[in-house]
Structure 1
Amino acid sequence: MASMNCHYYSFSLMRSVDINVIIPTPESDEQITNEETKKAYHYETGLPVLYLLHGAFGDYSSWVRYSNIERYAQKHCVAVVMASAANSFYQDMYRGDAYFTFFTEELPAFIGSVFPISKKREDTFVAGLSMGGYGAWFMALSKPEQYAKAASLSGALDLAMTYEGTKQGDMKGPFFWEQIFENPELISGSDADLLTLYDRCEAAGTIPELYYACGTEDFVYEMNLSVKRGLEERGANAVYEEGPGGHTWDFWDTYIQKVLQWMLPV
């Protein structure tokens, strides 16, 4: 595969940014053994694309440094795009950067103009871990016309609960809530509340497919079960998986493979 680091100016963030982009290419076993010459990469029609989001404390390089995402992208013939969102929960911050606009508008426009990426909804996916798990669902449920599938791994899916947990000291996180939201006390039921967004998508008749997984030893496990109950009450068609593990790269590296199999079966 081709793995590239791009450095360019973002107008929505008003500064230069770094992104990592993985583009699958016929190579390795396909060339050496000559047994998979039937495999084609239709660059002219565009590759499916996965926007892959980091968690708190991370950045655009996290997935490449700590997982085998390059190998998995090659296997599933999918382009993967990774960019940084600081510790913003992928919001257009009240006092700070417009990360939601960057990730959902400017970044796709740049990627689509430079790389052989499909612009079709059915070929556009988003996934992430922890804070990025929330971000993936937040983007897809906010713009269901743009994303076909969204996946969360160990996601902080209940943002109001996350805020209360950090405020009470039960959870740790590098979040400056008053900079992200005008009033973080009002997150529940707002445009940042995932179940509220789901209800809007359901009313509009456009719901992206949802996947989520969490380790049974993870500190956000009970939160994921709470969201699971909320979705089940709504009759949501969301795929949930769990298994042994905590808030670790061992879990995320294993389950991103399940995510890709769910998004793009091979």
Structure 2
Amino acid sequence: MAWLALEYADSVLQNQTRVQVIVPDQIDGPLQSLYLLHGLGDDGSAWQRKTNLEALVADKQVAVIMPAVGRSWYQDVPKGVPYWTFLTESLPRYMNQLLPLSPRAVDHFVAGNSMGGYGALKWASAQPQQFGAVGALSPVTDFAVLPKIQPDWAAAFPDGRPAPVSYTASVPLFLAIGQQDFLYPQFQEFVTHRVTSKPKIFTAAGAHDWQFWQLALSQLIDWLPLTSTHTEKGILA
């Protein structure tokens, strides 16, 4: 696999930005894509530094795209940076220009952890026609928790805390949560009352941390309909 750290001037952000991207060494044709969204206090490099993501997709024909949006909650921050417009408009446009991505919506996926899990649910709900599947690992789905985890939360939500998240899109959904995660009660309430489809759910012993997310990421990659790389006999993959 090739790991790219792209630094470029984004037209929406009106600034330089960094996006981490994994692509196969051997590209057999149009690539699938997986947008992986980071959590609060991280950036796109967290997936490289804290999981074995590269090994998990080593035999897949997928481009894994990992943007950085600070502490924005994937919002267009009022009087701040338009990260939502960047994520949903200019970033996909740039990736499509840069990479040989499939033109079929079913070949594109979005997932994230914690704040990024919220971002993935939000994006798939807003643009279900863009994705074949969505994954949320330990997602924040009830913003009553915001003051506990982010003292500066009002910078992203100056009009007050948003309503609890609902998921009504028809895009297939993978959910994961650690049984000792402090978000476990809100996760159960979300699944029981605010998800209209029947998601694939993975749960195991674990907290709100990278030890559990590594395990959940492996389950997510296995669940996604990713295309395998064709390797010729005698050629190293």
RMSD: 1.7
Looking at structure 2, the residues matched to 161 and 149 of structure 1 have their Cα atoms a distance apart, in angstroms, of 27
1:220 maps to 2:197: no
| Residues 76 and 264, structure 1, Cα contact 8 Å, conserved in 2 | no
Looking at structure 1, the residues matched to 150 and 173 of structure 2 have their Cα atoms a distance apart, in angstroms, of 25
What residue is the counterpart of 1:184 in the other structure? 160
- Match of 1:145, SS? helix
Looking at structure 2, the residues matched to 246 and 177 of structure 1 have their Cα atoms a distance apart, in angstroms, of 22
Q: Deviation per CA, 1:26-77: give whole Å up to 9, x if none.
A: 4xxxxxxxxxxxxxx423xx11100001110001211111111111121333
Paired residues for 1:9-158 under 5 Å? 9-26=9-26, 41-43=27-29, 46-158=30-142
Extract structure 1 runs of 4+ deviating beyond 4 A: none
| Residues 92 and 98, structure 1, Cα contact 8 Å, conserved in 2 | yes
TM-score, L = length of structure 2? 0.90
What residue is the counterpart of 1:29 in the other structure? none
Looking at structure 1, the residues matched to 193 and 79 of structure 2 have their Cα atoms a distance apart, in angstroms, of 31
With over 3 angstroms needed to count, the CA separation of the structure-2 counterparts of 1:69 and 1:144, relative to structure 1, is same
| Residues 108 and 130, structure 2, Cα contact 8 Å, conserved in 1 | yes
TM-score, L = length of structure 1? 0.80
What residue is the counterpart of 2:220 in the other structure? 259
| Residues 76 and 260, structure 1, Cα contact 8 Å, conserved in 2 | no
Structure number, greater radius of gyration: 1
1:194 maps to 2:165: yes
Looking at structure 2, the residues matched to 219 and 109 of structure 1 have their Cα atoms a distance apart, in angstroms, of 37
Looking at structure 2, the residues matched to 95 and 260 of structure 1 have their Cα atoms a distance apart, in angstroms, of 37
With over 3 angstroms needed to count, the CA separation of the structure-2 counterparts of 1:119 and 1:92, relative to structure 1, is farther
Q: 1:210 aligns with which of 170, 173, 182?
A: 173
Shift of 1:264: 2.2
Q: 1:244 aligns with which of 189, 201, 205?
A: 205
- Match of 1:76, SS? coil
2:63 maps to amino acid:
A
More helix by share: 1
Of all paired residues, the percent bearing the same amino acid is 32
